[in-house]
Amino acid sequence: MKFETRAIHVGEEPNLKDGGTGDVAMPIHLASTYARKLVDVPTAGYEYSRTDNPTRDALQHRLAALEGANHALVFASGLGAETSLILSLLSSGDHIVAFDDLYGGTRRLLTRVFAERFGIDVTYVDARNPLEVERTIRP
């Protein structure tokens, strides 16, 4: 199947699950929360759209297929993606080299949360100066 065809059709399997609608084209799910029959048991596995929903599942499945990967992750925000990545890969004492002209919210996250609270060193450098970037990288 060509890339263009996969971009349009991957993840478009009809929804034939119990309680499914049989929809062939994935609808955009706008719900922020999902009803439950039992308090501790999410309906169809979904609790809150910020953490997971059918639309996001379809997007992740499609992106993974387009990239030839087994899995893909998407997030509700860029800061959510950054936080997940840093918490997954770094620990106290590790070092981040960041460009000095990055988004202000990211700079606050790196400085106030990861540097001050988690002990991750952050060095801001001028991205236009490759030698400065290279000198700042620690083994």
For the chain, the domains span: 1-74, 78-136
pTM more than 0.75: no
Q: Longest C-alpha distance within the chain, in Å?
A: 59
Ranges 20-29, 36-45, 85-94: which has the least confidence: 20-29
For the cut 90, the answer to whether the pLDDT of residue 43 exceeds it is no
pLDDT band at 86 (very low <50, low <70, confident <90, very high): very high
Please state the φ and ψ torsions of residue 102, each to the nearest 5 degrees: -75, 170
pLDDT tens per residue across span 26-38: 788 888 888 888 8
Q: Is there a contact between 63 and 3 (Cβ–Cβ < 8 Å)?
A: no
Reduce the DSSP state of residue 38 to 3 states and report it.
strand
Beta bridge pairs of residue 121: 95
